Amino acid sequence: MSTASSLNIERKVLELGTPLLLDGGQSLPEMRVAYETCGTLNAAKDNAILICHALTGDHHVVSDHPKTGKPGWWVRMVGPGKPIDTDRYFIICANVIGSCMGSTGPASLAPDGEPWAKRFPVITIRDMVKGHIAVLDALGIDALHAVVGGSMGGMQALSLASNFAERTRAALVIASTARHSAQNIAFHEVGRQAIMADPEWREGNYYAHGKGPEKGLSVARMAAHITYLSEAGLTDKFGRRLQNREEKTFGFDADFQIESYLRYQGLSFTDRFDANSYLYITRAMDYFDLAEEHGGMLANAFAGSKARFCLVSFDTDWLYPTAESRNVTHALNAAGLPVSFVELSAPYGHDSFLLDVPALDRVVEGFLG
Amino acid sequence: MNAAQSFMGKEGLRPDLAVIAENVANGASVLDVGCGDGTLMAALRDGQGCATRGMEIDAANVGRCVGRGLSVIQGDADKDLAFYPDKSVDYAILSQTLQTTMRPDMVLEELLRIGRRAFVSFPNFAHWRVRASLLWNGRMPVTRLLPVAWYETPNIHHLTVNDFRSLVKDRGITVEGQWFLSGDQSCSAAAANFRAEHAVFLLSRRG
């Protein structure tokens, strides 16, 4: 069964017929949502799993990335016989609105034929979920078997289970949070300021100039990348080792391997991601506070839900630490919903949800059933 | 009461768990605190149609529970019970865990706050074998039920049947049922403090 054909990968773009009313009060006309599906939707249409991607992710969950050629971002988790089994489930992964990977975002053209740029309305996590719901509607799926997401994908999973409670029977939330902390917002603000301080940003109107704020975006990515890794993981991988040299140069070259690595990560990111999209999506994450949307009580956010929940955190994740998952777990408990929570031990920090953690595979497979 | 016949019928369950399973009403809601790998929860769900949830401190065990389709939260009975609403389940169950907690009295109060009733099972430190071991060897007993040396045992608050009876009396807790086990055999309440290896109590708080 483990052939590419059994994956049955399809890439589609949904053109929304009606404007999407956004949390900020504006509405977005002529919206597109790009999505990928794999596996087969059964006749009852009850075997669908929606996978939500992270900040700089995309809908290419199992197919090769169109720009980098790298394999889909979660091929280790999704496929025939894998924890999210495409032989049993129909997998949907939709690109979030605000992104630059196919769904409508600031780099897309507005009705006047010019890129939206900074005229693009500020969006929220719930707005992204509205885009996903539109895809479910188009596919005729009333209720998902589960919604699954890590990091920002986990925020979407929580938002969907809360705001569109009848649309899913389960939610699996990995390395995520129900609200952005001051520290989370702080790191994002560093990234945004780096982008906006780059003269090539031009108040967001860089599209016609053939060159964007690559330096700023690269620095934003470098700062963010540090938050995805653990201190021990960095020490293990790089330590104080020097990059292709015997001695320090007493200059500001990338003497250390970690410097070289971060510079490469920053630079390669600019090849595949739009700086304005980075601004808008980080803003959406900063605005995310599921309790605030429901009168300040997180338990109330799930009042209408009948879903099963599973939360997973990693002991080395300091971006969305275990306490955040516990917070959600306690709220779900208070709401009387069936909830599981586990803190897994993994050395890779926040990025653990994307990497080889066999214990995560077992939990994902077990929870999806 | 002779429970020996009935609990022997629950194949595969540890004797104290079999007693608990026998006495949980079909279809009841249950919180199993310290649920281990979920054996009791699975038996209650599959055999008796119970709505189960669990708490377990060990991540690998939580993973096993989730793999069985059970809803289990990784947590610590000493700290995390506070997040459960009052009277949110029919039964709160604490099996072989009381003696591992920092404040067994507070955990007991929490069980009776969360559950309309509570099952508590624990190893009896006044069992004759334990007494004999202490008397003749002058050292902390290492027995079949208490197999770990004093310095690494998770059992930090050993108690006896009589200690437990005294605690529930002091706290005004009602004993609705009690079962005493020596191996797979039951023994009488009168002789329990000397003869029982395990005790199982069903508790409630009137009013």
Q: Domain with A343 in it: what CATH number?
A: 3.40.50.1820
* A148 shares its domain with A53: yes
A174 and A103 within one domain: yes
A163 reaches B (C-beta below 8 A): no
Distance to chain B for A315, nearest Cα, Å: 11
Give A336's contacts in chain B (Cβ within 8 Å). 85, 88
Return the structure tokens found at B38. Answer: 């979920």
User: Residues B168-175: what's their mean pLDDT?
Assistant: 97
Picking from B66, B80, B87 by the largest number of A CB atoms within 10 A of its own CB, the best residue to mutate is B66
Contact B73/A at CB under 8 A: yes
**Residues B178, B183, B184, B190: is their CA dihedral positive or negative?**
negative
Pair A8, A14: CB distance under 8 Å: no
User: Pick from A253, A282, A311: which residue ends a domain?
Assistant: A282
For the entire predicted model, the pTM comes to: 0.93
Do residue A135 and residue A234 come from a single domain? no
Q: Would you give the end-to-end CA distance of chain B in angstroms?
A: 27
Residues A155 and A193 in one domain: no
CATH superfamily of B4-126+158-204: Vaccinia Virus protein VP39 (3.40.50.150)
Among residues A252, A282, A312, which one ends one of the domains? A282
User: Where among A255, A282, A309 does a domain terminate?
Assistant: A282
Give the model confidence (pLDDT) of A96-149 as tens digits. 999 999 999 999 999 999 999 999 999 999 999 999 999 999 999 999 999 999
**Cα(B15)–Cα(A52) distance, integer angstroms:** 45
Tell me the pLDDT of chain A averaged across its residues. 95
Contact A207, A117 (CB under 8 A): yes
Name the nearest CA neighbour of A122 among A245, A8, A286, A238: A286
When scoring A302, A325, A333 by the number of chain B Cβ atoms within 10 A, the one with the most, hence best to mutate, is A333
Ligand-binding site membership of A351 (annotated) = yes
Q: What is the mean pLDDT of residues A44-59?
A: 98
* Domain co-membership, A246 together with A358: no
Question: For chain A, how many structural domains are there in total?
Answer: 2
Distance of residue B77 Cα from the nearest chain A Cα, in angstroms: 14
Decide if A151 is catalytic. Answer: yes
Q: Give SS3 for A41.
A: coil
**Is the CB of A359 less than 8 angstroms away from the CB of B88?**
no
Of how many residues is chain B composed? 207
For residue A204, which amino acid is it?
G
* A200 plus A330 within the same structural domain: no
Looking at residue A91, its pLDDT comes to 98
Residues near B183 by beta carbon (within 8 Å), at least 6 away in sequence: B15, B197
Looking up residue A196, the CATH number of its domain turns out to be 1.10.1740.110
Q: Is A236 annotated as a binding residue?
A: no
Residue B143: the pLDDT is 80
Asked if residue A31 and residue A162 are part of one domain, the reply reads yes
Is B27 a residue whose pLDDT tops 90? yes
In whole angstroms, what is the distance from residue A173 CA to residue A309 CA?
8
Do residue A151 and residue A68 come from a single domain?
Answer: yes
Alpha carbon distance B48, B13 (integer Å): 14
Summarised one tens digit per residue, pLDDT across range B81-139 is 998 999 999 999 999 999 999 999 999 999 999 999 999 999 999 999 999 989 999 99
What mean pLDDT comes out for the span A44-55? 98
| pLDDT of residue B11 exceeding 70 | no
Would you say residue B63 has pLDDT above 70?
yes
Q: Give the confidence band of B10 by pLDDT, cuts at 50, 70, 90.
A: low
Cβ neighbours of residue B178 under 8 Å, at least 6 residues apart?
A: B189, B192, B199, B200, B201, B202
CB–CB contact B63 A362 (8 Å): yes
Residue A144 sits in the same domain as residue A261: no
Tell me whether A344 touches chain B (CB under 8 Å). yes
One domain, residues A339 and A276: no
The domain in which residue A266 lies consists of: 184-282
Statement to judge: residues A95 and A165 lie in one domain: yes
The encoded tokens of residue B108 equal 């007991």
CA distance to partner chain B, nearest, from residue A174 (Å): 14
Same domain, A326 and A340: yes
Active site residue A317: yes
> What's the rounded mean pLDDT across residues A255-274?
96
pLDDT tops 50 at residue B40: yes
- Check whether B183 has a pLDDT greater than 90: no
pLDDT of residue B8: 44
